[in-house]
Chain A
Amino acid sequence: MKEVRIGLIGSPNSGKSTIFNKLTGAYQIVGNWPGKTVETVERAVESKGRHFLLIDFPGTQTLTPTSTDEEIAMEYMIENSPDVIIQVASAIDLERSIYLSLELIELGIPILVALNQFDEAIKQGFEIDVEKLSEILGVPVIPTVAIKGEGIDKLVEKAFELVHSKSKGKMITDEDIRPQINNVMSVIKGFLPDRYPSEWFALKLFEEDPWVARKIAELDAEKRLKGVLEEEKASIKKSTGMHPSLLIVNKRRSIAERIANEVRKTKPVSRSKFIETLDSLSTSSYGYPLLAVVMATVFVATLGLGLLLRDTISYLFLGLSGYFAFNIANPLLSAILSGAQLSLLVGLSFIIPVVFSFHFFFSLLDDSGYLPRAAFLIDKAMRRIGLNGKAFIPLLLGYGCNVPACVTCRILEGDKPRFVTALMITLIPCASRMIIIYGLIAIYIGMVTALAIYLFNLFVVLLIGMIVGRSVDLRCESTGLVMVLPPYRVPVIKNALRKTWSRAKDFVYLAMPIIIIGTVFLKMLEIAGIMGHLNALFNPLFVGIFGLPGYVLSFLLFGAIRKEFALVFLMTTLNGNPLSYLSPTQIIVFTLITLFYIPCVATTVTLIRELRLRKTLMIIGINLLIAIIVGFSASVILPLFS
C-alpha cells in the first residue's frame, strides 16, 4: 500500500514545526517570528504503530501567495498533494485561522484543524467552542498545545480516519457566484489535467491568483479561457457592484469573522504587566536605543564570554597536552603531530566559545518574539533603501550564518528586494567572521575596536544597500511591510540549547576535521619550502595595495572555504602569536578584508540556487571591490591615527 502523506499547513508561526519535531524527532528550526521554515521537508514517522510521511510546510497566511516561501508551499501542496492536510491554526488568531481553513476546504483535500497554542488562548481569556467550530466548518477540530505535545496523538488518529473516509468540509465562500464558477469550470475541465482540482482553479481564477494564472499560462490555455472568464467576471461585477477578486476575499473574511465570533467568548483577564510594558516599550521610540543595547549586549556578551571561556579551555588543553608531549625525531611526523595539536587548540579556544555563545544568546532573542518588533521599528529605515522591515529578519540572521539568512530571503516579496537583501547579507559578519573579529581584534587590539568594526561594517552594509538599491530601481518593485506580530513568549533554555546545537554543530563536525587536515597540509608546504615561493609571488601585490605580507593570501584562500579558516590558519602558521609577525594596523586591515572579500563556498552555492549564477557573480564582484577599497583605505588611513 502507498504510504499515507500528511501535510502540516498553516499561517506563519502557528506551530507547524513544533508538531513536526514532536512527531518525527527531527529538528526543524522553531522560533518566535514568522518565516522560519522556507522549504518543504518530508520525514517518515512511526507513531503508535502507524506509519506515514509527515510534511512540514512554510507558513502561508493565505493561499494566494505573495512571497517565494508561500509559493513553494502552494506549488508543493498542489503538485504533490498530501492525502490529508492538518491545518495548524493559532487559537489566539482565530479569524485568520478560519480564513485559511475556508481556503483549504475549497481546495478539496481532506483537512482537519489543529487549534494550536490553545494554552495561550485560555490565558488570554478566550473560550472557544471547538465542537461548534467543527460543526460549522464540517471538519474535525482538535485543540492542541504543541510545545507540551498535548493533542498530537489524537491529531494523528483523526488524520488516519480522514484518509479512509475522505470526508471533506463544506465549501461556503462561493454561494453568490456559483453559476459563474460552474461556467468557467466547464471550460477548464476541457484542458486541466485530472490531478488539479478544477473547481478550485475556477474560484482562484476569479480571485486573480497569480500562481493559478501562471499554471494556466503553462498549460497554454489563456486564450481559450479569456473570453468566458472576462464575461463571467463582468456579470459578477454587474450583479454585485464589486470586483470579483475583492468580492471573494471580502466574503471569505466576513464569514471567518462571523464564525469566530460565533464560537468564541472572551472574558476579561489581567495580562502580565511585565510583558505588556516590554511590548509597549519595544515598539515605542525608546525601542531604538533598546535595539542598539540589545544588539550590543549580544555581541559584548558573546565576545566577553568567549574571552572568559578561552582561557579556561586553553588552560585545560595545555594541561592535558602536557601528558602527551611528543619527542619525535622524524621532522615530517613531528610537524604533523604538532600541527594537529595546534589546530585543535585553536579550534577549541577560538571557535567553540564564540560560536556556541553567540548562537545561544541569539536563540534566546529569537524565541522571545523581539525580532518582528524590531522589524516594525526599522521599517522606515528599510523603506529608505527601498526594502521593508521584513528584510531586517534575514539581515539579522546573517550575523549567525549567511546561508540560512540568504534562504530566508524567500519571505520577501519581489526579485529585486531579494537580490539586494542577499547582497547585504553577504557583507554581514556571520559567526565565522565573528571568530576572526574575536581572535584578532578583541584579543589583540581591544573590545572597543571590535565594536567599532561592527559599527563600521553596518555602515558599509547600509551604504551598499542604498547605492545598489538605487541603481536597480528597487522602489518600483518593493511593497510595504505587512506583518502579523506574534506575542512575546518566554524563551525556554532547553529549546534555545537545542537550536544552538543545530546551528553550531557544523563547526564541530565539518570545520574541525578540515582545520586539522589543513593545518597539517600547510605545515608540510612550509617544510617543502612552497610557502616561501608563494610569499615571493604575491608579496608585491599585497604589500603594494594593503601593506600586508603576501602569505596572507593563503589564509584568504582557506577563508573562502569557511571564513573562520582565515583566522585558524593565520594562527597556526604564525604559531599562535600574530603580534610578533604583524603590526596592529596590519591586523585590522586583514580583518576588514576578511569581512568583505567573498561569500564562502556554502553561501555561494546557496546564492546560485536562490538567485542564479549571474546575480551571484555580481554579488561576488561587489564583495571583492568593497574589500579592495576598504582594505586599501584602511591601510592608508589607520597609520595616521596610531
Chain B
Amino acid sequence: MNIALTHLDEGKVAVIKEMDLDNHIKKRLMALGLLPNSRLKVLRIAPLKGAILMDVGGYPLAISHDLAEKILVRELE
C-alpha cells in the first residue's frame, strides 16, 4: 500500500511511487534523485511535523513537510 512519505518512521527504507506536485518542483526533486521507483531512507523527521531529512543515493537531502506529504511511497521491509 502506498503511504505519504511523512508517515514513515526514522530509519525506514521506502520506494517512491507517486509525486503529486507541480512539474516545476517535481523536476527539481527528480534531478536530485527522487525518481519514481527509486529508494530513499528516512534519516530524520524534525519534531512537530517538521522537515524530513533523507538519504537519497548516499547523500542527505532535506525537504519540507508540506512537500513530503505529497510524495507517496511504498515501505520496504
Contact = CB atoms under 8 A, between A and B. Distances in A.
Interface of A: 61-62, 64, 66, 92-93, 95-96, 99, 207-208, 210, 243, 245-246, 249-250, 252-254, 257, 260, 266, 280, 283-285, 287-288, 372, 375-377, 379-380, 383, 388-389, 479-485
Contacts of A96: 31-33, 57, 59
A287 B26 CA distance: 29
21 contacts: A61-B32, A62-B28, A66-B24, A92-B59, A95-B59, A96-B59, A207-B27, A208-B27, A246-B26, A257-B38, A266-B58, A376-B53, A379-B51, A379-B64, A379-B65, A380-B48, A383-B66, A482-B28, A483-B61, A484-B32, A484-B60
A266 B35 CA distance: 22
A249 B51 contact: no
A250 B30 contact: yes
A95 B63 contact: no
B23 A283 contact: no
B46 A380 contact: yes
Nearest to A126: B58
Given A253-B30, A482-B61, A284 B44 contact: yes
Contacts of B62: 372, 375-376, 379, 389, 481-485
B63 A482 contact: yes
A115 to B, nearest CB: 15
Contact of B23 (A62, A95, A245, A389): A245
A375 B64 CA distance: 11
A206 to B, nearest CB: 12
Given A376-B44, A484-B59, 13 more contacts: A62-B28, A99-B31, A253-B30, A257-B33, A266-B58, A283-B46, A388-B64, A479-B25, A479-B67, A480-B63, A482-B32, A482-B61, A482-B64
Interface of B: 23-33, 35-36, 38, 43-44, 46-51, 53, 57-67
A106 to B, nearest CB: 13
Contacts of A254: 35
A566 to B, nearest CB: 39
Given A283-B53, A484-B59, A252 B65 contact: no
Contacts of B38: 257
Contacts of B57: 95-96, 257, 260
Q: Which of B25, B46, B57, B63 has the most CB of A within 10 A?
A: B46
A61 B28 contact: yes
Q: Is the interface of A mostly helix, strand, loop or mixed?
A: helix
B61 A246 contact: no
A376 B51 contact: yes
Nearest to A207: B27
Contacts of B36: 250
A540 B29 CA distance: 60
Q: Which of A92, A208, A280, A283 has the most CB of B within 10 A?
A: A283
Contacts of B35: 250, 253-254
B66 A485 contact: no
A208 B28 CA distance: 12
Nearest to A266: B58
Task: List 3 tightest A-B contacts by C-beta distance, closest first.
Answer: A480-B64, A379-B51, A380-B50
Contact of B31 (A62, A208, A243): A62
Contacts of A208: 23-24, 27
A346 B52 CA distance: 48
B11 to A, nearest CB: 11
Given A95-B57, A254-B35, A482 B46 contact: no
Contacts of A482: 25, 28-29, 32, 61-64, 67
Nearest to A248: B27
Contacts of A484: 32, 59-62
B32 to A, nearest CB: 7
A70 to B, nearest CB: 10
A485 B55 CA distance: 10
B49 A64 contact: no
Given A376-B46, A484-B59, A61 B31 contact: yes
A92 to B, nearest CB: 7
A481 B51 CA distance: 8
Contacts of B65: 379-380, 383, 480
Contacts of B61: 482-485
Contacts of A377: 46, 50-51
Q: Which of B35, B38, B48, B62 has the most CB of A within 10 A?
A: B62
Contacts of A481: 51, 62-64, 67
Contact of A389 (B26, B28, B48, B51): B51
Q: Which of B31, B36, B47, B48 has the most CB of A within 10 A?
A: B31
B47 A285 contact: yes
Contacts of A480: 25, 63-67
